[in-house]
Chains A and B, each alone.
Chain A
Amino acid sequence: MSLPANETRFFGSVEELAAEIPDGAFVAMPPDYSLVAMEAVRALVRRNARNLRLLGVPQLGMCADLLIGAGCVAEIETSAVSLGEAGLAPRFTEAAQSGALKVKDATCPLVHGGLQAAEKGVPFMPSRGVIGSDLAKHHADWKTIQNPLSESADPIVLARAIEPDVALFHARWADRAGNVWVGRRRELATIAHASKRCFVTYEEMREGDMLEDELLAPGVISAVYVTGVAEAKRGAWPLGVIGAYAADDAHLQQYAKAARTQAAFDHYLDEFVRTGRAARLRDLAAHR
């Protein structure tokens, strides 16, 4: 395993950032309550990304449902996909039931453990629990061994290191040095550390270097991990950004309802995902 030291690129748009994520990439993303790069996810739908493999760290919500419904995803490894209070993730549920989507069922601490192994550059991370579950029976990257440090019988599960091709998430701030600030959402640091490339959308650009500020620094992911950033104001919408704006619960309910059928879902895409691009193209034409 060998991961790069990055010199952060600054993209002119979210579309440019999304264009860097190739078809077939293994993409790690966080849950709805963390910081999800929803505008970049919509840009992936707009560019008709195909055969993505998603990793839920440790589970996923609307971003996965949107990508699955739009036909962008071949496989997903996750502890769960759910829309939280808005209920089941309808596009995920249907694709899993029909067999169109391959699901690799995991459980939260072993996803975190696998990424932490990649962070440390070691081949696996041991974990308690899981033994006797059908998760352990079916997950090809987990193995139960005897604890080599114990004199008595003590089976323990090892989770193989997980090294995603791409980490994709949203941040409150980026700075001119290429650092991003995610506050307490440290699973994003784990994803960034473990992944070959890391793309981050951000709410606002901060002048200077956030690492020089002792109060901000603990919430920063250093530029050494960050491949590229792009501005996306309200880029987590309809999900929230802690301290900036809340999740749009009414819209999430609206989405959950629309996603129940492919036809209504496609209509949702036209209205809320593809129009973004249409509007931008119109603006572009007006400027020329």
Chain B
Amino acid sequence: MFPTPVQKASPFIRISYQIMLPVALIVWLFPLIGVALTSVRPASDLAAGNYFGMPSYFAGFENYGAVFRDSLIGQFILNSFKITIPTVIGAVGLSCLSGFALANYQFKANLWIFFIFVAGNFVPAQILMVPVRDLTLRTGLYDSVYGLILFHTAFQAGFCTLFMRNFIKSLPFALIESARVEGVSEWKIFAYVVMPLMRPAIAALSVLIFTFVWNDYFWATVMVQGAHAMPVTAGLYSLNGQWVAAWHLVSAGSIVAALPPVAMFFLMQKHFIAGLTLGATKG
């Protein structure tokens, strides 16, 4: 068997593996651990120069309480949800439809349309910054969650379509043909045959898009100015300005902002991993 399992390797390799693995893990997670520790550190520790040691006492409640009490983070998180959830529904829903069409119907421009969807993924978002900002200003969508929803949906649709098209392409085509011979309409085939089989792909894609959109900072700063539409990523930056040296509070805010995608991943990880490989092995 190749490679030899670590359990059967020579003692030297086995012991170095057991030492190196935790070391690598700690190095990898160091920034996260630092932020997590700082978020429960009392302000006095920071004043005393205790940046990386253990907190002198657990100040989690007061720090996290202060973040929610003294800042707009609650509003920012709500905005993030207001932007992310419609985007996930919109992008995944639309890509189910476009993926179904591209995978199942033979029409002249099929492959070209598919290539355009794929090629869109390779356009760096930054070069679109100025045109998109102008466009939103003119259409009155600047500085609103709707603008962000619309543009996130549009930008994610390319990747989602690629993913869904390949997934549907890997389903046995005879299922669809068989339903056609039985007189089932195309909409019903989509709803009753294809959609149920796409559940793992939908779950995986939803987690992925949720994370992408939740973590977006770039478009949030380009398209939003006011707190009324600001998602939590951009909102955190404004905390930085509000609490210049209050790192413990900024850390607590960061942890709060990072929780939803992590929670989403752990909730859906079974589907997520299954869905990723399902999409990847074929198509």
A and B associate in one complex: no
